[in-house]
A = this chain, B = another copy of it.
């Protein structure tokens, strides 16, 4: 439970206690698929996996920050699509240079996020409903910008998703890794991060302490939105297209990753690094099941079961650790 306590004594036990359960889950999954799926435990498969997770990782990091602050953002998938489409429009129709277009896409995402944060925080409306509204609005706008067409953007974004020669992983992956670390750092080492935890624990107490909660909430949501924009760029780069349908349903995957990683939906608790492990659990499961060629019913039943089990095991482990 006490992930936030940064204590430097007994570092190994500490690390094990914090990440142990998840690591075991990941190893079990890897082992299982390694045995049953051919060519699963190969460099190619692992690199493929690494190169396909940057977008969901980046989304999940943003979601973790928002969840920790006691919010939720259901619009991440739609905002991803909207910023990707906006990027396509800026690049293809307006022919802006890549860096400017990217900046524009991320800024648009940040605006959507900031708006979510502002409305929910300033008017004390549940974030769930505000972001549900934003989900619809952003998706509609994405259709509107693209005229409901998938747009080909060519290889201009290619450097983003192409594997870097000696490493085998793409620039996206490295950026995503950096985002994870930056998120963890933000949470523990900055005023904003500490305020996020405080607000998530008890917003009323924070207000009683004379602190305004709107500004930090807007910032956090804007970060989450900006990360959606980044994820949109990553996805567009990977597919060389911008697609107004992209990211549908990704909000639930992102939340699942956070919760598997132990982030509390009631706010106040969570860790970005653990969220990353949650993403790994989900993506190993997906890839493994695809390589096994499991049928759709089985895929879904197994996915659901593993999601529940991994959280269940973690909870049982913690309870026994307390005793």
Contact = CB atoms under 8 A, between A and B. Distances in A.
A128 B255 contact: yes
A118 to B, nearest CB: 12
B300 A129 contact: no
Contacts of A132: 252, 255-256, 259, 304, 307
Interface string A171-214: 00000000000000000000000000000000000000000000
A133 interface: yes
Copies of this protein in the complex: 2
A233 interface: no
A140 B296 contact: yes
A304 B133 contact: yes
A137 B300 contact: yes
Given A119-B308, A136-B301, A256 B315 contact: no
B303 A148 contact: no
B140 A260 contact: no
Given A123-B312, A297-B143, A315-B124, A304 B129 contact: no
B148 A259 contact: no
B140 A308 contact: no
A36 interface: no
A136 B300 contact: yes
A35 B266 CA distance: 44
B125 A296 contact: no
Contacts of A298: 140, 144
B136 A307 contact: yes
Nearest to A132: B256
A300 B125 contact: no
Contacts of A246: none
Contact of A301 (B123, B124, B144): B144
A297 B129 contact: no
A304 B137 contact: yes
Interface residues of A, number: 46
Interface in A137-191: 137-141, 143-144, 148
**Counting chain B CB atoms within 10 Å of each CB, which of A133, A255, A316 scores highest?**
A133
B312 A126 contact: no
A280 interface: no
Contacts of A136: 300-301, 303-304, 307
B311 A137 contact: no
Interface string A39-68: 000000000000000000000000000000
A101 interface: no
Given A129-B259, A144-B301, 4 more contacts: A125-B311, A133-B308, A134-B308, A141-B297
Interface of A: 74, 119, 123-126, 128-130, 132-141, 143-144, 148, 252, 255-256, 259-260, 264-266, 296-305, 307-308, 311-312, 315-316
